[in-house]
Amino acid sequence: MIFSMMIINPNYGHFSFHNSSVKFLYGVVSVGERGIVGSRVKGRDIKEFNVMVNARSSNNINYSGVTKLRSYAELNGYVQVLKIVNKRKNIVMACIMTLNFTSHSIQHLQC
């Protein structure tokens, strides 16, 4: 699966974040995880990430029909204001989606 994420920085200072990860969960079981390398988003700019996540097989997942998955990513970092003050910021993204294996599509995506 390809995880696509867009960070919009409305601040005038740049946003720098540390290494993090994105997880795909089936219930409470993690079926896929991939690291996100720390980076920087310039002030009043947009940065898009595409992360390829390999999903592991789980005995509880029904691959013949419809399955509900959750994705979760948290980015911890700071916004630098006037090259003097660093203000801590956390970005959390959580989505719920339904995978349809017969039509190979994602349905009911809610973030």
Q: State how far the Cα of 25 lies from the Cα of 1, in Å rounded to an integer.
A: 13
Determine the topology of domain 2-55+64-110 in CATH.
Immunoglobulin-like (2.60.40)
Residue 27 has pLDDT above 90, yes or no: no
Portion of the chain with pLDDT greater than 90, in percent: 59
pTM: 0.81
| Residue spans per domain, the chain | 2-55+64-110
What are the tens digits of pLDDT across the range 29-46?
888 999 999 999 999 999
Average pLDDT for residues 89-94, to the nearest whole number? 93
